[in-house]
Structure 1
Amino acid sequence: MDYPIGEGEVKLVSTDWLEKKKKEDIKILDFQPNVHDYIYEHIPGAVYFNEGLFRSAKEGVPGKYVPGKNIENIFRSLGIKKDEPTVVYTGKGEFKGWGDGLEQTMAAYTLARFGHENVYLLDGGLEKWKNEERELTKEYPETKESSFKVEIKEELFLEYREFKRIKDQEDVLLLDARPLNLYEGQGPWMKPGHIPGAVNLPWKNLMQSNPRKLKSIDEVESILEDKGVQRDKKIICSCGTGREATNEFTLLNWYLDYPDVYIYEGSFTEWCAYPDNKTITGEKPR
């Protein structure tokens, strides 16, 4: 594949691209799952940022984004500038081993959600970088506080009421990025199954396993076609808490430039919080 891939605020880049660019005026953010993973090893120049800072509970419902003013203070303290090329990556975490690869799609989406205009996501993440025996370090870079001003991009996501209003319209396709067993049966949620109408497309189906790298565009488009993902549809990406959905949202919205894509951030967790909302078990959407 030719890199960078994508249009707009988020693009997919290769390890070769980052190797060539890392000494230029760019920001590199390490989203390994635990700070000890970063302390153990990271790409030279990378600043540590934990994705857990993005979300908390709101009115008792977990997994909701914190207010923009909270994010603004964090972005500023890390020296993030909204127009500066900013590379995000993660890995399984050499010290803790907790990573699943979603940290970097979650990070890329969240940066764009709060107004960043120039995000690059490292295809294959730290695992590919290490497999190629590229340089790692334990040193911490110097940072200077920025003046980042949050601008929430409401056109990227749907709130609960709007989601419920449109999800069953004929021109809408709702995707559920969770594993099949959670889609079909009982997971950790108070209700089993999935949101009525949701089509299961596990996010891992679109990725190679080691390193966690996007499959070829031809393979991806074949999978999407099989699931009925078409450009004339309004596509809503969902999952359990909105995290897995970021993988498919970044793919469809930015890499493949589908014209009408949204993420339902509340996803199945928020849906289940309303007692009257039905859920469906089994392999069929309805």
Structure 2
Amino acid sequence: MDTFVSAERLAYRLDDVRVVDVRDGWEYEGIGHLPGAVSIPFAEFRSRDGDAGMLPGADRWADLLSSAGIDADDEVVAYDDTHGVFAARFLVTAELYGHDTGKLHLLDGDYSAWSREHEVTTDVPDPEPTEYEPHESDESPLVTFEEVEAALADDGIVLVDTREAWEYEEGHLPGAVQLDWMELVDADSRGLKPRDELQSVLADRGIAPDRRVLLYCNTARRISHTYLVLRHLGYGNLAFYEGSLTEWEERGGAMETGA
């Protein structure tokens, strides 16, 4: 399966993958969820007391996935009900803790899109606990504050701010281009826009596959979705600033204002 998996494809393979619902627990239990999906709410794997940025820490991550019955070699599909941005964060976290990227997938769409044509349930599975063992990713996309500072003067790197235009105008990294992550999402399908439209949007901002692309937002949530989109499109030189503007401003990084 590709990084993004369609509802039709997932429905065919539900028995072969581990499905993770990252919405709040009350949504999972009260509204319903995909058959067989386990609940790992977004708030449970976000913490500034863990590792870099908002990563939860390797021990916390291991506990969450072990309790959910997920093994380190399982194929995982994650979803939310917000066009995939919270689920994308789950998948990027899994990648940063060493899960094989080829086995990490985002539902193309979200719960609302799935429920239009596919079965949902309120039955809660009781998975057999595992012993999930995270490890450091072999080729981590994470970059440090110092590496971002150096990138400001590197013409071969394009800095991408994935926040909304008004946030960008209030303050952004010098030379960064603005690309609201929602510009890559189709309002009707709640999933990705067609490939040619995605490529057009990116080309308009100078975000080319032959350049190193360094992504940031406020707390590394929104860049998670854009990161997965770029990987889906074949971008191979991606940098992920986990600290994002939260760390950048705390450490006195240079900022610009205006459009």
- TM above 0.5, yes or no, is yes
Q: Indicate conservation of the 8 Å contact 1:196/1:280, yes or no.
A: yes
C-alpha distance after superposition, 1:46-103 (max 9, x if no partner): 10011222232259x9952122122112211111112211111111xxxxxxx46411
Give the corresponding residue for 1:65: 55
Looking at structure 1, the residues matched to 145 and 165 of structure 2 have their Cα atoms a distance apart, in angstroms, of 24
Letter in 1 for 2:179: L
> Are residue 105 (structure 1) and residue 88 (structure 2) matched?
yes
Q: TM-score, normalised by structure 2?
A: 0.93
- Point out where structure 1 has 5 or more consecutive residues left out of the alignment: 6-10, 92-98, 186-192
- Name the structure with the higher helix share: 2
Q: CA deviation at 1:113?
A: 1.4
Greater shift, 50-59 or 63-72, is seen at 50-59
> 1:51 matched to which residue of 2?
42
CA-based RMSD of the aligned residues comes to: 1.9
The one-letter code of the counterpart of 1:183 is: Y
Letter in 2 for 1:148: Y
1:138 corresponds to: 122
Aligned to 1:163: 148
Query: Quick one: which of 12, 16, 39 aligns to 2:29?
Result: 39
Take 1:236 and 1:211, find their aligned partners in 2: how far apart are those partners?
28
Alignment partners' CA distance in 1, 2:6 and 2:28: 20
Deviation, 1:163, is: 2.0
User: Residues 143-186 of structure 1, C-alpha deviation per residue, up to 9 Å, x if partnerless?
Assistant: 1111221012252211222222233211010000000010002x
TM-score if structure 1 supplies the norm length? 0.84
Q: Which residue does 2:244 correspond to in 1?
A: 267
Q: Is contact 2:152–2:174 with CA below 8 Å preserved after alignment?
A: no
Percent identity at matched positions?
A: 29
Kindly indicate which of the two structures has a greater share of residues assigned to strand: 1
Measure, in 1, the Cα distance between the counterparts of 2:84 and 2:134. 26
Preserved contact between residue 127 and residue 210 of structure 1 (Cα < 8 Å): no
Equivalent position amino acid for 1:39 in 2: E
Distance in 2 of aligned mates of 1:234 and 1:204: 21
Q: Aligned runs of 1:118-137 on 2, under 5 Å?
A: 118-132=103-117, 134-137=118-121
Unaligned 5+ segments in structure 2 are: none
On the 8 A contact 2:5/2:105 being kept in 1, the answer is: yes
Instruction: Classify the secondary structure of the residue corresponding to 2:47.
Output: strand
Count of matched residue pairs: 255
CA contact (8 A) 2:5 2:106 kept: yes
Native 8 Å contact 1:29 1:88 kept in 2: yes
Shift of 1:229: 1.0
Distance 1:27 1:173 in 2: 35
Does the 8 A contact of 1:56 with 1:62 survive in 2?
no
Matches of 2:16 and 2:52, distance apart in 1: 37
Indicate the SS of the match to 2:186: coil
